């Protein structure tokens, strides 16, 4: 026999839900009240000189044409033109980088709202067709004056957003192209490359980072920067076409994961390829090629269809004793008794253990099926917009998890059901991050994932039991549902 509800169960779980909500609100407050950015405004105040005598840039990217949209740090500078860098990274014999097609740069462009922290990546806009743009500010060296720590500052700020006029003060530019190595719905190394708009310059600024697709946020989340820079540094070292590789301090440690240093690569020549300068156009090395190397992406199993939230969730004494899971348990008990393999008490013990195992397996498998299903669909339908894939699999996560918690947790002990369900989802989250190579999370994302574990556990504990009062069940289901809905909406509206 399953034990009856302890009188303090609903109170304890309700308090746990309240603690998660308060912790989440606290993390948002801490994020919103961070140190003020002294570079806020239209024109950045501190610029760096990538090459002696050439025009200068702000060592960060921005979500908008303003310094208050600061995101990630520039961490690589190459003394060459953009096509030379493109050829080296994508066309040499052992190249693994691929140019990112417009529809695969991200699900949608930046909304133009408040500043986005580097850990938060891009904000989704389902109406947009192109990926999020990040801007870099470039300023005329002549119209700057020396500043502290080998930086420069503009003394005639005249930013341009349209055609580059002769001898302007400065200009916000978007990336020349993007490169990636990895999977869109998994983890990838991602590069944004910016070629100076001044014809006299011979440098390309690169923002290199590693990110992963977050199914709750429906966008990419940056989890490392310096590691990707180090990978590029190693690729350039020892190449015959590269003269020197060294590091320059850009003092841009305010961005996520940045140590303030940028790798500088100086090409000795044109990669040893005859007539490279004139042959690039003939070889088709221009921006906008589709990501043909998506065929190298990992193959994995498909995702199951999601169940509607709350299916079979009628509550009240006497209503919860039917359903496929309960019927399967009864059939198993009857079979064990009919064959005389176990007595009635041992049969119930075996079935109860299998019931908890099925609860764990259902939540664990359902969570991971979304990740690996996305990878499989990405590989199979490389020409399909990622919006379509995301729209197909997101309901499996949003509706399937709470439905599975209630269906497989039915008629089980609430405390044990909470523990098993929380363990199932929590283990899946850990395995998911390990498969992506993610080793660090921001505070708000970590609190959100803890909330996911608690919400699913509470929903499983609130699954209908014939010995539970309607009032107790309603309270738990209401608390779990409220927490789940809040946790679904928070990432989508940019709170994380």
Q: Give the pLDDT of the chain (496 residues) as one tens digit per residue.
A: 344 445 455 555 556 555 555 555 554 444 444 444 444 446 788 899 998 889 999 999 999 888 888 999 999 999 999 999 999 999 887 888 988 877 676 643 333 333 333 333 333 333 222 347 899 999 988 888 887 777 777 765 555 445 555 556 788 999 999 999 999 999 999 999 999 999 889 999 999 999 999 999 999 999 999 999 999 999 999 888 899 999 999 989 887 778 999 999 998 755 444 333 333 332 332 223 233 333 333 333 333 333 222 333 333 333 344 456 555 555 555 655 555 555 556 656 667 888 899 999 999 999 999 999 999 999 999 888 899 999 999 999 999 999 999 999 888 888 899 999 999 999 999 999 999 999 888 888 999 999 999 999 999 998 865 455 555 557 888 889 999 999 999 998 877 7
Domain count, the chain: 2
Sequence-distant (≥ 6) Cβ neighbours of residue 363 within 8 angstroms: 401, 404, 405, 408, 421, 424, 425, 428, 456
Q: Is residue 348 part of a domain?
A: yes
Q: Tell whether 327 and 267 lie within a shared domain.
A: no
Q: Is residue 269 part of a domain?
A: yes
Q: Tell whether 324 and 265 lie within a shared domain.
A: no
Helix or strand holding residue 144 (H, E): strand 144-146
Q: Tell whether 16 and 86 lie within a shared domain.
A: no
Among candidate residues 219, 223, 242, the one with its CA nearest the CA of residue 232: 242
Q: Tell whether 15 and 51 lie within a shared domain.
A: no
Q: Of 227, 242, 276, at which residue does a domain stop?
A: 276
Q: Tell whether 258 and 321 lie within a shared domain.
A: no
Q: Is residue 374 part of a domain?
A: yes
Q: Is residue 457 part of a domain?
A: yes
Q: Tell whether 272 and 305 lie within a shared domain.
A: no
Q: Of 261, 276, 291, at which residue does a domain stop?
A: 276
C-alpha dihedral (426, 429, 435, 440), degrees to nearest 10:
-100
Q: Tell whether 237 and 341 lie within a shared domain.
A: no
Q: Of 245, 276, 307, at which residue does a domain stop?
A: 276
User: Which residue range is the domain that position 464 belongs to?
Assistant: 9-29+299-492
Q: Is residue 344 part of a domain?
A: yes
CA 329 to chain centre: 39
Q: Tell whether 190 and 84 lie within a shared domain.
A: yes
CA atoms of 246 and 68, how far apart (whole Å): 30
Q: Tell whether 70 and 162 lie within a shared domain.
A: yes
Q: Is residue 287 part of a domain?
A: no
Q: Tell whether 475 and 369 lie within a shared domain.
A: yes
Q: Is residue 292 part of a domain?
A: no
Site of tokens 């190298």: 296
Q: Is residue 34 part of a domain?
A: no
- DSSP conformation class of 399: I
Q: Tell whether 242 and 369 lie within a shared domain.
A: no
Angle 197-202-205 from CA coordinates, rounded to 5°: 70
Q: Tell whether 228 and 313 lie within a shared domain.
A: no
């Amino acid at each position: 026999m399953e034990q009856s509800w302890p009188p303090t169960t609903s109170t304890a779980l309700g308090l746990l839900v309240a603690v998660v909500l308060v912790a989440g609100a606290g993390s948002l407050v801490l994020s919103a009240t961070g140190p003020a950015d002294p570079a806020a405004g239209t024109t950045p105040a501190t610029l760096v000189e990538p090459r002696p005598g050439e025009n200068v840039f702000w060592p960060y990217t921005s979500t908008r044409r303003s310094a208050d949209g600061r995101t990630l740090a520039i961490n690589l500078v190459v003394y060459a033109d953009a096509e030379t860098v493109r050829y080296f990274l994508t066309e040499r014999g052992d190249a693994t980088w691929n140019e990112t097609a417009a529809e695969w740069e991200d699900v949608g462009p930046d909304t133009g709202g408040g500043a986005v922290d580097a850990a938060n990546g891009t904000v989704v806009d389902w109406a947009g067709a192109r990926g999020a743009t990040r801007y870099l500010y470039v300023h005329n060296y002549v119209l700057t004056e020396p500043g502290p720590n080998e930086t420069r500052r503009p003394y005639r700020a005249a930013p341009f957003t349209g055609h580059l006029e002769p001898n302007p003060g400065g200009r916000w530019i978007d990336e020349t192209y993007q490169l990636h190595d990895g999977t869109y719905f998994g983890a990838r190394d991602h590069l944004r490359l910016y070629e100076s708009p001044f014809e006299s310059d011979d440098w390309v600024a690169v923002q290199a980072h590693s990110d992963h697709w977050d199914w709750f946020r429906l966008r990419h989340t940056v989890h490392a920067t310096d590691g990707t820079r180090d990978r590029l540094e190693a690729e350039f070292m020892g190449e015959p076409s590269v003269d020197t590789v060294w590091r320059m301090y850009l003092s841009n440690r305010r961005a996520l994961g940045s140590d303030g240093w940028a790798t500088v690569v100086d090409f000795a020549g044109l990669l040893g390829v005859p007539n490279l300068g004139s042959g690039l156009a003939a070889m088709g090395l221009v921006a906008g090629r589709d990501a043909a190397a998506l065929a190298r992406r990992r193959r994995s199993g498909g995702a199951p269809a999601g169940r509607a939230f709350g299916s079979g969730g009628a509550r009240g004494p006497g209503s919860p004793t039917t359903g496929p899971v309960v019927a399967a348990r009864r059939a198993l008990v009857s079979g064990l008794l009919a064959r005389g393999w176990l007595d009635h008490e041992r049969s119930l013990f075996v079935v109860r253990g299998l019931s908890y195992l099925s609860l764990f397996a259902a939540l664990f498998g359902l969570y991971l099926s979304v990740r690996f299903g996305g990878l499989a669909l990405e590989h199979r339908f490389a020409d399909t917009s990622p919006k379509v894939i995301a729209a197909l699999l997101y309901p499996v996560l949003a509706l399937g998890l709470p439905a599975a918690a209630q269906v497989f947790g039915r008629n089980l002990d609430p405390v044990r059901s909470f523990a098993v369900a929380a363990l199932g989802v929590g283990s899946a989250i850990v395995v998911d991050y390990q498969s992506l190579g993610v080793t660090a999370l921001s505070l708000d994302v970590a609190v959100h994932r803890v909330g996911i574990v608690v919400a699913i556990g509470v929903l499983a504990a609130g699954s209908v039991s014939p010995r539970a009062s309607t009032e107790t069940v309603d309270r738990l289901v209401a608390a779990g549902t409220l927490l789940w809905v809040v946790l679904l909406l928070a990432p989508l509206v940019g709170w994380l």
